Amino acid sequence: MSSTEQFTEPATDNGPLVDDAVEVGEDLDFQRAWWRFEKIAWIVLSLVLIGDAAGLFGRGWLAKAEVTSPDQTLHVGYERIERAGTPSEMTLRIGSTAVHDGRVRLFVSESLLQQLGAQRIIPQPATSDVGPNGVTYTFPATGSPAIVGIELEPSFPGVHRIELSVPGAQPIEARIAVLP
């Protein structure tokens, strides 16, 4: 086979010519549509940044949430929007009515420990009782309110329902969204 036989496709200019002389390959209609898209995209990206600063995607005041049990015994401060792989802290204030014999018992649902990745509980609980739906911790308590911190670091995105309760008080339920 000679070298010229390899080139069988005729090569010609096939695009529109400017001034019947120059083929540029311009597509001004597409470009105008792209410029419109660019303007919208920059507005959207700016809104994303503003939303981020406000905490719409976690780590800001919009993400912070507080919930108190109807009888005021348990108060929980947490972030309703978490980020996967990013640490955060949940703070629990337990009222004096939940303190019995110098001890406080706190039930924490399994979702808080597994999906939301509870890393550490401060202070260290004296005992931990594992149940079917979660763990009940016992803390020695000398004053009121008793403050317990739970360090979270969720691994995967999703929406998780958590439940926290102390004996004698109505449980607190909340939903926490974890973003990628």
- Residue ranges binding other proteins (CB under 8 A): 18-19, 21-22, 24-28, 30-31, 34-35, 38, 41-42, 45, 84-85, 156, 180
85: Cβ–Cβ under 8 A, 6 or more apart, which residues?
153, 154, 155
- Least distance to other proteins, CB of residue 180, Å: 7
> For the chain, how many residues are written?
180
CA distances from 92 to 60, 79, 120 (A): 19, 12, 14
Q: Which residues pair with 152 in a beta bridge?
A: 88, 118
- Least distance to other proteins, CB of residue 20, Å: 12
- Least distance to other proteins, CB of residue 131, Å: 30
Pick between residue 26 and residue 66 the one whose CB is nearest to other proteins.
26
Pick between residue 45 and residue 126 the one whose CB is nearest to other proteins.
45
What residue type is assigned to position 172 of the chain?
A: I
Pick between residue 12 and residue 124 the one whose CB is nearest to other proteins.
12
Tokens of 143: 């004053």
